[in-house]
A and B are shown apart, each in its own frame.
Chain A
Amino acid sequence: MIDVPASDPWLILLVVVPLLAAPLCVLLRGPAGAWSVATAVSWGVLGIAVKLLGDVLERGTLRYRIGGWDAPWGIEYLLDPVGAFVVVIVAAIGAVVLPYAKSSVEKEVRSDRIYLFYAMVLLCLSGLLGIAVTGDAFNLFVFLEVSSLSSYVLISLGRDRRALTAAFRYLIMGTLGATFYIIGVGLMYQMTGTLNIQDLTTIIPAVADTRTVLAALAFLTVGISLKLALFPLHLWLPNAYTFAPSAVTVFLSATATKVSAYVLLRIFFTVFGQVDLFAHFPLQPVLMAMALAAMFLASLTAIWQQNVKRMLAYSSVAQIGYTVLGISLATEAGLSGAIIHLFNHALMKGAAFMAIGAVVYATGAVTLDRLAGMGKRMPFTMAAFVVAGLGLIGMPLTAGFISKWQLITAALESGYWPLAVLILLSSLLAVIYVWRVVEAAYLRPVPANEAWAATDRVPVGMQVPMWVLAGASVYFGTDASFTLELAHTAARALMGGY
């Protein structure tokens, strides 16, 4: 028999702590109490995530057997460098968003629903972390639904009534996506008799040429692409991000799509890791075409938006394109580019959405015409937006540059020089949409309209998280040695299996 690997209880705590804290929020009822619990838990989770990342880098893959049952029969949690990186992204964003949420949510969500808001954030956090640590394909579905159902609720809590329809549309598409995913898992189970991802890796090659497994691959890819909002399956995303409460937009844009990208990586490079997927099936041209379409069409759409939140939402669709482009190269360099972009984009888009959330908090303005002169009225907030915007463009000294540099290098390494050109060209589109905000905020005069000019002070609790993310995007743009090293390790781990 194989020697029984040591069980690491921190893996399960990562999921169970936020899961148990959610009902605690409901029991406490008070907004302040619920917020305190949620914030404390999110920081605790970040602590665990960082510890786990350290352990993974030091000791390799960590495992936990639930209920003491051994792997193919029991559910096993395992964490390799890719999972650990995603866990840290999710936990870090959670820990930064919750302090920010306090004032923002007080203003945007009805006071008698605030405790439910925090309960849902914790459930969502727990689901997202669960996806990243589980080693079982069906368990992954359960966590996918835990995080999805709570995010539908979070989106529907927005002030605008269109938040309800956005949440409903997301629910329909998200449930279709998740159901596609279990169809795929079911088909794989029929052929392999296992749900354990590591087990699947070893058994799949023997049956890879059967139509059942091909159908499974198709269902899994489409299902997860729906959750990932890969163009053209992104239709739920713009309205969901636009009408959700600001804090929710920040949280979801920086975590939910990242975790879906992680699932896609797992399917392609772990479950089908021993099969030369990209050589056998026309997966590469399809993914590449979708990615390029996302980069260009979504960026172009972003240029035409009046609502800044919706503009950033379309920009998110475009940035997902960059991630998928990296995945479609299927080389170590391409995967590193995709993985590091997950992290960098979480920082930049988080900061950008936080800045707009602060503007909404202070003035209620979210459209371009009402942003006129905002550079003078809210200099700090708009400065943070500009820093984040430069990152989205991919300016040197910001995190966005590192991602794009890595992606371009990967494209050239694989011999796809037109891709490198297209990455640069699509960045020019980002210049245009970011510039439209800058132009409105800095070059147009403050409107004479009294009602529009009223500006509340943005509380420190919102300013600090915003600058933490904006600062981090500059820090990891100037000194990327740590994140790049991590992304390379993660990509190597993916290419080499668990």
Chain B
Amino acid sequence: MDIFLLADEHLGLFNYWIVIVLMMSGFYVVIAQHNLLKKVVGLNIFQVSVFLFYISMGKVDGGSAPIFKDGVEVLSNPLPHVLILTAIVVGVAATALALALVVRIKHAFGTVEEDEIQAIEHDEEDIA
């Protein structure tokens, strides 16, 4: 019995566990990867975890979509969902810009590996 209660208590927060796992993996990828493209991917995973967080937050137990209809009493909170639409748009813009920069970096340096770029930059440091 106890074990069921425990499972219920923690699985009830299932969404939030996923959020934390995604958030930390994304954050780790951004920090640990040396490939600029993979950094962008990591950044996306990190942002998506926040989207999930907001969406889970707005869900009300047993609540339906927030549309007024006969017989529907409990509604989910639409505000976090709407907010996250905005955040998704912002995230797409940031990703697009990041990818555009990666393309330009590839043209300028011939590589998208951070350590190789840093080696090239280090040599230039002495000149300028």
Residues of A within 8 A of B (CB): 138, 141-142, 145, 149, 152-153, 156, 160-162, 164-165, 167-168, 171-172, 175-176, 178-179, 182-183, 186, 189-190, 195, 307, 366-367
Contacts and interface: CB of A to CB of B under 8 A. Distances in A.
Contacts of A164: 101, 104-105, 108
Given A165-B121, A179-B50, A153 B97 contact: yes
Interface in B68-97: 80, 83, 86-87, 90, 93-94, 97
Contacts of A172: 30, 39, 43, 98
A11 B83 CA distance: 23
B71 to A, nearest CB: 26
Contact of A189 (B80, B98, B101, B102): B80
Contacts of B46: 176, 179
Nearest to B108: A161
Nearest to A194: B79
Interface in B21-77: 23, 27, 30, 36, 39, 43, 46-47, 50, 53-54, 57
Interface of B: 23, 27, 30, 36, 39, 43, 46-47, 50, 53-54, 57, 80, 83, 86-87, 90, 93-94, 97-98, 101-102, 104-105, 108-109, 117, 121, 124, 128
Contacts of B97: 149, 152-153, 171
Interface SS, A side: helix
Nearest to B90: A145
A172 B80 CA distance: 25
B53 A183 contact: yes
Contact of B105 (A168, A175, A179, A186): A168
Contact of B80 (A141, A142, A186): A186
A183 B50 contact: yes
Contacts of A153: 97
Residue from B23, B36, B83, B93 with most neighbouring chain A CB atoms (10 Å): B83
Given A138-B83, A186-B53, A186-B54, A160 B128 contact: yes
Contacts of A186: 50, 53-54, 57, 80
Contacts of A162: 121, 124
Contacts of B94: 145, 149, 171, 175
Given A145-B90, A149-B93, A190 B101 contact: no
Contacts of A171: 94, 97-98, 101
Nearest to A242: B128
A189 B57 contact: yes
12 contacts: A149-B93, A152-B101, A160-B128, A165-B117, A168-B36, A171-B98, A171-B101, A175-B94, A176-B43, A183-B23, A183-B53, A186-B54
A171 B102 CA distance: 11
B55 to A, nearest CB: 10
Nearest to B47: A179
A190 B104 contact: no
B105 to A, nearest CB: 5
Contacts of A366: 128
Given A141-B90, A183-B53, 18 more contacts: A142-B86, A145-B94, A149-B90, A149-B97, A152-B97, A156-B101, A161-B105, A162-B121, A171-B94, A175-B43, A175-B47, A175-B94, A176-B27, A178-B90, A179-B47, A179-B50, A186-B53, A186-B54
B96 to A, nearest CB: 9
A163 B57 CA distance: 40
A395 B20 CA distance: 50
Chain A to chain B: the 9 pairs with minimum beta-carbon distance, closest first: A161-B108, A145-B90, A168-B101, A164-B105, A164-B104, A175-B94, A171-B98, A186-B54, A190-B57
B128 A367 contact: yes
A153 B100 CA distance: 10
